[in-house]
Amino acid sequence: MATELAGVRRAIGDPHGRSATLHIIGVGRRRAEAGIAAVAAESPAGILAIGFCGGADPGLRTGDLHVADEFHSTDCPQPVPADPGLTARVRAWAARSQTRLAGGASVTVGSVAGADVKSALHTTAGALSVNMEDYWAARAAAGYGIPFASVRAVLDAAGDEIPAYLGASGDGIIDVLRGLAAHPGSIPSLVRLSRKAQIARNRLAHCVSGLLEVTPAPSARAAPSAP
């Protein structure tokens, strides 16, 4: 979403000429698949999806990064592996910059996951984090033969709850306001979430900026996309 990319855009400015282009793909399966198709049309050397996630591992806290080794979905039994070269590049950057980074599986869900769902997916599927796009984006990229990886910043920790209406509204302020009108009791949660989002945005911006600094051009061009 634009919310997730805002900090990245401020940190790096125009990425053209720096081996990358930025694309906003939106929330959910349909937007993820359409977004990857648009990115694939530019024939990138690789796709790195960036964005927020929900922490499923109780050891993860807001702002921690998760680079998934494998993508799972609650709707499909067959996992999709991440590209080892792209994930290794992210891990190398994290080691150099001494940034907290977790590896392991992520699970793509169809709606905002509450604490109980995140806990169950951690127990049954070994999920470190949950999101709403990566599995579909990874599967689409594989269909185009494009290396794909994902780095996510934890927004809500394993025990946190966020308003469910946010998953449907995305960046649409009108939908958010409708959700607030229908659930006025969620205002304190939304305020806390805004503070957490700033932490997650800053960590993503730091990561992408650092990766661009060490990415050669033009032969190893990467095209980050964000849900």
Domain definitions of the chain by residue range = 2-160+185-226
Residue among 134, 154, 132, 135 at smallest CA distance from 54? 154
Q: What is the pLDDT of residues 58-85, one digit of tens each?
A: 999 999 999 999 999 999 999 999 999 9
Q: Is the pLDDT higher at 175 or at 119? A: 119
Q: What is the pLDDT of residues 107-134, one digit of tens each?
A: 999 988 999 999 999 999 999 999 999 9
Judge whether residue 54 has pLDDT over 70. yes
Quick one: average pLDDT of 85-102?
92
Task: Tally Cβ neighbours within 10 Å of residue 113.
Answer: 27
Give pLDDT, residue 31. 92
Of 24-28, 155-159, 201-205, least confident by mean pLDDT is: 24-28
Under CATH, to which class is 2-160+185-226 assigned? alpha beta
Judge whether residue 213 has pLDDT over 90. no
Judge whether residue 14 has pLDDT over 90. no
Give pLDDT, residue 181. 60
Q: Which residues pair with 152 in a beta bridge?
A: 51, 66
Which residues touch 57 (CB under 8 Å, ≥6 apart)? 102, 104, 122, 127, 128, 129, 158
Give pLDDT, residue 170. 52
Q: Is 43 helix (H, G, I), strand (E, B) or coil?
A: coil
Quick one: average pLDDT of 174-181?
60
Judge whether residue 183 has pLDDT over 80. no
